[in-house]
Chain A
Amino acid sequence: MTVTPFTPIASLLGGALIGLSAVLLMWATGRIAGVSGIAARLFPPYEDGEFAGRLAFVAGLVAAPVLVRLATGGLPEQTIAAGTPVLIVGGLLTGFGSVWGSGCTSGHGVCGLSRLSVRSLVATVTFMAAGMATVFVMRHWS
């Protein structure tokens, strides 16, 4: 494993930017900034006419590091330790579970908790606990 430094100030500031984005999306489109819901609706069946806006939001997510690289000449560290099989299974479970449970870290964790939704609280506690249990098994049981 790679040891990472604790970054309370940067993380608080970055979190505030994520919150600002969620507030702006609600102001602009009246919708929750839930990345799993937005990403899943890039694929059929299409239930409304919001495809272009969702694609633009996702394009913004992908463009952020490109912009950072252009502005600063570099990118912060990114360590992806998982090998291909773990990436595939992890990706499938992440995609399936976030859609099955109507949200992920952003939709339930940020927007739902901010709305004091009990459903989102249950979801957030559950995925945090499942994530912690998984890391515990993968790091400490082998």
Chain B
Amino acid sequence: MAILVQFAIGLIFGLGLIVSGMSNPAKVLNFLDVGGIPAGTWDASLAFVMAGAIAVTFFGFNRVLRLARPFFSARFYVPTRTDIDPRVVVGPAIFGIGWGMAGFCPGPALTALGFGSPSAVIFVAAMFAGMVLARFVSHLPPLTRFVTPADPLET
């Protein structure tokens, strides 16, 4: 049952991407193209997608997170970190370059698979490889291990 519900929730997400026009990379790239503002080719639609999504999520999360627990799970897994570490800047900077190159972020790229486009298959295969690589690198022992401990009494 939980699996079927998650399929339906993914389906709603995908329908949202299609209805909003975000399944079309050309629309995304025309939003990112601020150089197109003087020429009149800038497409502000993506800002409206974000506004619609955030409005619903802001109020929805507020309601849902007041519940004792999720329907199919023992507890909520809401991120708790608040620190601004280098990775939360470097990661999005790298992602943003990839996004600006092809016009795909992960959600629309996966939905594009269902359009039957060979280009989407190539992009998603490379995206999966990048994801696996990032997790592999994250799981390597940190290089800072070899730096002298801050407290010399600590070994």
Contact = CB atoms under 8 A, between A and B. Distances in A.
Nearest to B95: A97
Interface size class of B (residues with CB under 8 A): 35 or more
Contacts of A100: 87, 90-91, 94-95, 134, 137-138
The majority secondary structure among interface residues of chain A is helix
A94 B9 contact: no
Contacts of B139: 45
A52 to B, nearest CB: 5
A82 B103 contact: yes
Given A28-B72, A115-B61, A139 B35 contact: yes
Given A30-B73, A40-B134, A106-B106, A18 B52 contact: yes
Contacts, number: 508
B91 A97 contact: yes
A130 B45 CA distance: 19
Interface of A: 1-8, 10-33, 35-36, 39-40, 42-43, 45, 52-54, 56-68, 75-82, 84, 86-106, 108-115, 117-119, 122-124, 126-136, 138-140
